[in-house]
């Protein structure tokens, strides 16, 4: 299992490197500027010059999609990484802090968990003013609870296992047990949840931007591009086809990688 | 018994926590609240005299420190008083009840069709594992989970409203207006539930007692309806409870995309106009409903499955 896992992680990092390389190469090779308007070539359908056509300002959609990838994937990865680290830490602390401490920490977590992500993000981003920074803050506030719950449950079950008792009897310090025995054992499951959370965050960012609560339209974020293209649905449907397809494919790819990771970790379940 | 007591205490603590977070959001919102209230009260006034602002600050106790202001507000909330909307001056409750119907119609319709579709697809997939229909179910579920809901909505508008012109794209009112939004949300529900139901059915089929029953000569359909279904219901119920949050998120996105009236549109409008009493009420509504649904799902499970009782459950 370890070998299969290592092989998978190697392939995954190869794939991520290839995609990141392709995006950067694409941005470097493309003759277009994502923000440069060309009023002589507006709403052009896909052609040899413009692979995904041009939008209502004559900007090259393929270039904007590549550029938007940096926004969507980068922001979502930042938010998820924040949630993963913070949430896991809080979960492990809860598992270690005795009945009352655990109860207190978990009820605070439950209180945050009760707000649906979208509701919290719309409320924060709307009240404090729609902007990329507020969007990121809003999504970070609701990013950590899933990780806390999972990390706590896993840490509790792991710390009851024989090898941890053995380590404790051998006189290892609490911090060392956490670092050497508990953390490595719960990390794979946390990473599976991380891929799931990453793809959900991409959907959330594009959705919020589409509704006007996130990244604002002159930027080439995918949801914002869809918002931009909505009025031209009838005359130039490619304005909304390509950004949506890009979101779909990215999320699908991350989900499939996550499924594969989960199957490798639990080979007995389908 | 002690377990129930701890759960109940926990529930109250969580609801208090929800109220505290909601209140903090509104408390730290930018802008002068006294001005907002004054404008709602005297919509025709050109300028607000300073004395009125001072009176309002006193009346709503806006100058109280955070904790006093919060406790005062929480006391009113416990008595069911959520105050009046800044923008219309109507009671928050009345505004909410006025929009609730549309959202309930949308979510119930989509749930019924979505769950029925998921159930049929997942049971066929689990009856014939590895068949074409099983693979189709997996593909539908994977693509559906990755599909942005608003994009699916736009595609359906493009196909059925713009090109075929069978149905209206935007607005509320007739039954025809309900079709596209409900279809979008139903497809969404179907995609997410098919995957889960399929794996629960497969798990149930793999139980050892199923093989015994099969050897005793029970038919496949009898096995499925009498045993697989019953075995898969408990985990399915939990997931549907947990997925209630994404159902509400879906309803918000779809109401806004189709310009339908309802709780989602009301929420977005109240946020954009910084109508804080309405925002606070709706945010609390979404959170408390979620907590209550999950607590009742857990309760039903404990009652129906003796293995889960008294601390054996997750």
Q: Give A165-214 as a DSSP string.
A: HHHHHTT--HHHHIIIIIHHHHHHHHHHHHHHHHHHHHHHHHHHHHHTSS
Non-local (6+) Cβ contacts of B37 within 8 A are B56, B60, B86
CATH architecture classification, B96-308 = Orthogonal Bundle (1.10)
Non-local (6+) Cβ contacts of A185 within 8 A are A154, A158
More confident residue, B310 or B8: B8
Confidence band of B45 (pLDDT split at 50, 70, 90): low
> How far apart, in Å, are the Cα atoms of A39 and each of A36, A56, A170, A239, A241?
10, 8, 75, 16, 21
What pLDDT score was predicted for residue A96? 84
Which of B16, B146, B148 is facing A207, going by the closest CB pair? B148
User: Do B62 and B33 form a contact (C-beta atoms < 8 A)?
Assistant: yes
CB atoms within 10 A of CB A134: 18
Question: How far is B83 from A47, CA to CA, in rounded Å?
Answer: 58
Q: What is the pLDDT of residues A168-201, one digit of tens each?
A: 888 888 888 888 888 888 888 898 889 889 988 9
Whether residue B43 has pLDDT greater than 80: no
Alpha helices in chain B (DSSP H): 2-27, 33-41, 50-59, 66-78, 92-127, 132-146, 149-156, 175-205, 208-215, 220-223, 229-242, 244-257, 263-272, 276-304
Contacts of B275 in chain A (CB under 8 A): none
User: Do A210 and A227 form a contact (C-beta atoms < 8 A)?
Assistant: yes
Question: How far is A180 from A177, CA to CA, in rounded Å?
Answer: 5
Q: Do A211 and B150 touch (CB under 8 A)?
A: yes
Q: What is the pLDDT of residues A207-245, one digit of tens each?
A: 888 888 888 777 778 888 888 877 777 777 777 888 888
Secondary structure letter of residue A241 according to DSSP? H
What pLDDT score was predicted for residue A58? 66
Q: How far is B26 from chain A (nearest CA, A)?
A: 8
Question: How far is A259 from A241, CA to CA, in rounded Å?
Answer: 27
Q: What is the pLDDT of residues B85-130, one digit of tens each?
A: 877 778 888 888 888 888 888 888 888 898 888 888 888 888 887 8
Span B164-169, average pLDDT? 74
Contacts of B267 in chain A (CB under 8 A): 119, 122
Burial B84-104, CB ≥16 within 10 A → b, else e: bbbbeeeebeebbeebeebbe
Whether residue B209 has pLDDT greater than 50: yes
Which of A128, A223, A233 is facing B158, going by the closest CB pair? A233
Task: Give the E-state strand segments of chain A in sequence order.
Answer: none
Q: How far is A33 from chain B (nearest CA, A)?
A: 26
What pLDDT score was predicted for residue A86? 95
What pLDDT score was predicted for residue B314? 42
User: Do B82 and B158 form a contact (C-beta atoms < 8 A)?
Assistant: no
Question: How far is B54 from B173, CA to CA, in rounded Å?
Answer: 44
The SS3 of residue B122 is: helix
Question: How far is B261 from A260, CA to CA, in rounded Å?
Answer: 41
Confidence band of B1 (pLDDT split at 50, 70, 90): low
Residue B72 tokens, joined: 């005062």
For A111, the enclosing helix (H) or strand (E) is: helix A98-113
Interface contact A210, partner B, CB < 8 A: yes
Lowest-confidence region among A45-59, A167-181, B80-94, B210-224: A45-59
Q: Do A117 and B249 touch (CB under 8 A)?
A: yes
User: Which of A123, A202, A248 to probe by mutation at the B interface, max B CB count within 10 Å?
Assistant: A123
Residue B274 tokens, joined: 């910084």
Predicted ipTM of the assembly:
0.81
Whether residue A268 has pLDDT greater than 50: no
Of A172, A156, A24, A159, nearest to A91 by C-alpha is A156
Q: Do B18 and A210 touch (CB under 8 A)?
A: no
Contacts of B155 in chain A (CB under 8 A): 244
For B159, the enclosing helix (H) or strand (E) is: none
Which of A116, A203, A240 is facing B154, going by the closest CB pair? A240
Q: What is the mean pLDDT of chain B?
A: 81
Question: How far is B59 from B61, CA to CA, in rounded Å?
Answer: 5
Cross-strand partners of A54: A60
Of B101, B96, B88, B102, nearest to B258 by C-alpha is B102
Secondary structure letter of residue B84 according to DSSP? B
What pLDDT score was predicted for residue A261? 80
Residue % of chain A over a pLDDT of 90: 11
What distance lies between CA B25 and its chain's CA centroid? Answer: 21
User: Do B278 and B286 form a contact (C-beta atoms < 8 A)?
Assistant: no
User: Do A112 and A90 form a contact (C-beta atoms < 8 A)?
Assistant: no
Question: How far is A77 from A19, CA to CA, in rounded Å?
Answer: 15
What pLDDT score was predicted for residue A79? 94
Non-local (6+) Cβ contacts of A62 within 8 A are A26, A30, A50, A51, A52, A242
Q: Give B213-279 as a DSSP string.
A: HHHTT--HHHHIIIIIHHHHHHHHHHHHHHTHHHHHHHHHHHHHHTT--SHHHHHHHHHHTT-HHHH
Non-local (6+) Cβ contacts of B173 within 8 A are none
Cross-strand partners of A60: A54
CB atoms within 10 A of CB B212: 10
Q: Is the dihedral of CA A240, A217, B22, B80 positive or negative?
A: negative
Q: Would you call A46 exposed, middle or buried from its count of C-beta atoms within 10 A (0-12, 13-18, 19+)? A: middle
What pLDDT score was predicted for residue B312? 44
User: Do A73 and A194 form a contact (C-beta atoms < 8 A)?
Assistant: no
Confidence band of A249 (pLDDT split at 50, 70, 90): confident
Q: What is the pLDDT of residues A124-162, one digit of tens each?
A: 888 888 888 888 998 999 899 999 999 998 888 888 888
Q: Do A112 and B21 touch (CB under 8 A)?
A: yes
pTM of the model: 0.84
Interface contact A82, partner B, CB < 8 A: no
How many CA atoms within 13 Å lie on the side-chain side of B263? 23
Phi and psi angles of residue B131, each rounded to the nearest 5 degrees, phi first: -75, 175
Span A78-106, average pLDDT? 91
Which of A153, A230, A252 is facing B154, going by the closest CB pair? A230
Residue B189 tokens, joined: 């529900």
Which of B119-133, B172-186, B211-225 has the highest mean predicted lDDT (pLDDT)? B119-133
Q: How far is A47 from chain B (nearest CA, A)?
A: 22
What pLDDT score was predicted for residue A91? 92
Residue % of chain A over a pLDDT of 70: 92
Q: What is the pLDDT of residues A6-22, one digit of tens each?
A: 777 777 777 777 777 77
- Domains, chain A, in order of start with CATH, read 2-35+52-269 (1.10.3720.10)
Q: How far is B225 from chain A (nearest CA, A)?
A: 22
For chain B, the structural domain boundaries read 2-78, 96-308
> How far apart, in Å, are the Cα atoms of A136 and each of A77, A120, B169?
11, 12, 32
Residue A227 tokens, joined: 């918002």
Span B256-273, average pLDDT? 87
What pLDDT score was predicted for residue B307? 61
More confident residue, A45 or B98: B98
Question: How far is B245 from B253, CA to CA, in rounded Å?
Answer: 13
Residue with tokens 């029953």: B213
């Amino acid at each position: 299992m370890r070998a299969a896992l290592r092989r998978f992680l190697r392939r995954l990092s190869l794939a991520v490197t290839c995609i990141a390389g392709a995006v950067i190469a694409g941005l470097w090779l493309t003759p277009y500027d994502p923000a440069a308007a060309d009023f002589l070539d507006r709403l052009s359908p896909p052609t040899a010059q413009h692979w995904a056509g041009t939008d209502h300002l004559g900007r090259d959609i393929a270039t904007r999609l590549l550029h938007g990838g940096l926004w969507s994937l980068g922001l979502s990865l930042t938010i998820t990484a924040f949630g993963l680290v913070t949430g896991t830490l809080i979960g492990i602390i809860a598992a270690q802090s005795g009945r009352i401490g655990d109860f207190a920490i978990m009820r605070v977590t439950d209180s945050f968990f009760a707000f649906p992500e979208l509701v919290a993000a719309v409320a924060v981003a709307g009240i404090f003013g729609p902007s990329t920074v507020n969007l990121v803050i809003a999504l970070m506030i609701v990013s950590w609870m899933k990780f806390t719950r999972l990390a706590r449950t896993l840490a509790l079950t792991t710390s009851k296992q024989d090898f941890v008792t053995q380590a404790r009897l051998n006189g290892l310090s609490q911090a060392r047990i956490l670092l050497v025995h508990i953390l490595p054992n719960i990390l794979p499951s946390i990473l599976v949840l991380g891929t799931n959370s990453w793809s959900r965050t991409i959907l959330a960012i594009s959705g919020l931007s589409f509704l006007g609560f996130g990244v604002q339209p002159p930027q080439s974020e995918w949801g914002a591009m869809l918002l931009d293209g909505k009025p031209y649905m009838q005359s130039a449907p490619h304005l909304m086809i390509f950004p949506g397809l890009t979101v779909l494919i990215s999320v699908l790819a991350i989900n499939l990688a996550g499924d594969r990771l989960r199957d490798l970790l639990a080979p007995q379940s389908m | 018994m002690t377990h129930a007591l701890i759960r109940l205490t926990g529930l109250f603590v969580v609801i208090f926590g929800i109220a505290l977070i909601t209140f903090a959001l509104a408390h730290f919102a930018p802008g002068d609240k006294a001005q907002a209230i004054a404008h709602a009260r005297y919509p025709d006034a050109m300028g607000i005299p300073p004395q009125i602002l001072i009176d309002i600050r006193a009346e709503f106790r806006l100058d109280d420190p955070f904790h006093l202001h919060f406790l005062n507000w929480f006391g009113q909330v416990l008595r069911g008083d959520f105050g009046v909307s800044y923008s219309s001056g109507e009671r928050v409750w009345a505004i909410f009840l006025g929009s609730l119907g549309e959202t309930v119609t949308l979510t119930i319709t989509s749930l019924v069709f979505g769950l029925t579709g998921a159930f049929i697809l997942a049971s066929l997939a689990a009856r014939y594992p590895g068949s074409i229909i099983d693979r189709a179910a997996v593909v539908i579920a994977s693509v559906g989970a990755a599909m942005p809901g608003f994009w699916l909505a736009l595609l359906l508008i493009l196909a059925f409203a713009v090109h075929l012109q069978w149905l209206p794209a935007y607005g509320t009112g007739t039954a025809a207006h309900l079709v596209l939004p409900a279809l979008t949300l139903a497809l969404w529900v179907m995609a997410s539930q098919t995957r889960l139901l399929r794996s629960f059915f497969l798990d149930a089929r793999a139980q050892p007692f199923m093989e015994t029953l099969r050897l005793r000569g029970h038919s496949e359909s009898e096995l499925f309806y009498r045993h697989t279904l019953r075995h898969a219901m408990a985990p399915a119920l939990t997931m549907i409870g947990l997925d209630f949050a994404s159902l509400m998120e879906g309803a918000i996105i779809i109401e806004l995309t189709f310009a339908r009236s309802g709780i989602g549109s009301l929420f977005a409008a109240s946020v954009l106009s910084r109508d804080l009493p309405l925002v606070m009420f709706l945010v609390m509504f979404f959170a408390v409903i979620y907590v209550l649904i999950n607590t009742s799902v857990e309760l039903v499970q404990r009652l129906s499955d003796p293995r889960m009782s008294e601390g054996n459950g997750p």
